[in-house]
Homo-oligomer: A and B are copies of this chain.
Amino acid sequence: MVNDARGTLLAVRETVQSELTSYLTLQREYLSGIGSELIPVCDALESFLLEGGKRLRPLFAYAGFAATGKVATAADIRAFTSLELLQACALIHDDLMDRSDTRRGKPAIHRHFENLHQQEAMSGLADQFGEAAAVLLGDLALVWSDHLLHTSGVENSALLSALKVHDEMRIELMAGQYLDVREAGERSPSVDRSLRIARYKSGKYTIERPLHLGASLAITDAAERKDLTNILSAYGLPLGEAFQLRDDMLGIFGDPSVTGKPAGDDIREGKRTVLMAMTLERADQASAAKITAALGREDLTSDQIEEIRALITATGAVKVVEDLIEGLLSNALTAANSDEIDPSARELLIELATSATRRSH
């Protein structure tokens, strides 16, 4: 059964890949018709979108659709695929705001365009050009995401129903992103505030709303799908928090060859995660001082990273976070087994929950 679910998800992932490929081919034709200067934009977005990505949001939308008992058509999967373009906007703008150099082991979009500027010995400031390109490529991906949803070929009633969920999801995403950026400016960390950010950025945006989007395309009447919507929230919100907590763990303990990010990246970036807030809450004064001094220092050696990792583990925060992940996962699995969920979707939801929380990248 689990293998069947895994097979289905792999097949959906391949369809998402081929839908993205077709969409980007069409857009390349359109943009290069406006001017050949736009070809590097198409190249960069193709590489960003097609060479990597877990396709989590389209997969959750697929599972939300399946939870109604209906079978998604090609048009529905095209609509789910639009979430990957929205996510591209979020990541491109995120890397710019965080001043991250890499994404999936390759230069972040703003660095890529900064490099292009230098290679072509263009006039003006290379970093300013890179930043501007990242702003615009993110904006373009956001607009494309809408466009792909609108032209997916789903029935008008399904589209109108999906737009409501889609708008709410995007407003929550931007609010969550702002809270995250704002958090970096706080003078001291807070477990509560970090958990709230995890709820908006991951609980809602990554999991709950994609599930709702899928369900809203299958059952267009919001009242009719109300009970299912609630169960999908009961599954999606804890799972989303667990997903973000796993991200926190990988940001500090992840293997760079698997994550595509430098070792201990969240330490170097000084990221205000739940794991870090819990660590500092538990650390003795000397350890807390050492950890705080290391946060945001880009020049940490691997020995220093190793030392900070050991300090974090010694506080017990890792154990607490791992237990929290297991507890949240268990809540999600209980919801997945509820009667409101069509049996055909249960194994999908279970497989997705497990892979989202026990992943290594």
**CB <8 Å contact, B31 and A175:** yes
State A123–B271 Cα separation when bound (angstroms): 12
CB distance from A176 to the nearest CB of B (A): 8
Residue from B38, B129, B139 in contact with A179 in the complex, judged by beta carbons closer than 8 Å:
B38
Of A92-100, A226-234, A344-352, which binds chain B?
A92-100
Interface size on A (CB < 8 Å)? 60
Count of chain copies? 2
**CB <8 Å contact, A30 and B196:** no
**CB <8 Å contact, A139 and B93:** yes
Q: Which residues of B are found within 8 Å of A30, using beta-carbon distances?
A: 171
- The closest CB in chain B to the CB of A141 belongs to B174
Residue from B38, B150, B171, B186 in contact with A143 in the complex, judged by beta carbons closer than 8 Å:
B171
Does A131 belong to the interface (CB within 8 Å)?
A: yes
**CB <8 Å contact, B147 and A34:** no
A35-B196, A97-B135 known; A171 and B147 CB under 8 Å? Answer: yes
Interface residues of A: mostly helix, strand, loop or mixed?
helix
A117-B185, A178-B41 known; A164 and B150 CB under 8 Å? Answer: yes
State A34–B156 Cα separation when bound (angstroms): 31
**Binary per-residue interface labels of chain A (96-111) against chain B in the complex, 1 for a CB within 8 Å, 0 otherwise:** 1101000000000000
**CB <8 Å contact, B150 and A170:** no
- The closest CB in chain B to the CB of A196 belongs to B35
Q: Which residues of B are found within 8 Å of A175, using beta-carbon distances?
A: 31, 34-35, 38, 140
Does A318 belong to the interface (CB within 8 Å)?
A: no
Q: Which residues of B are found within 8 Å of A218, using beta-carbon distances?
A: none
Pick the 7 closest A-B CB pairs, nearest first.
A122-B185, A97-B132, A140-B174, A147-B167, A143-B170, A132-B181, A136-B178
Extra pairs beyond A122-B187, A140-B178, A147-B167 (18, CB < 8 Å)? A31-B175, A35-B196, A37-B179, A37-B182, A97-B132, A122-B185, A123-B186, A129-B181, A129-B184, A135-B135, A136-B178, A136-B181, A138-B139, A139-B177, A142-B142, A143-B167, A143-B170, A151-B167
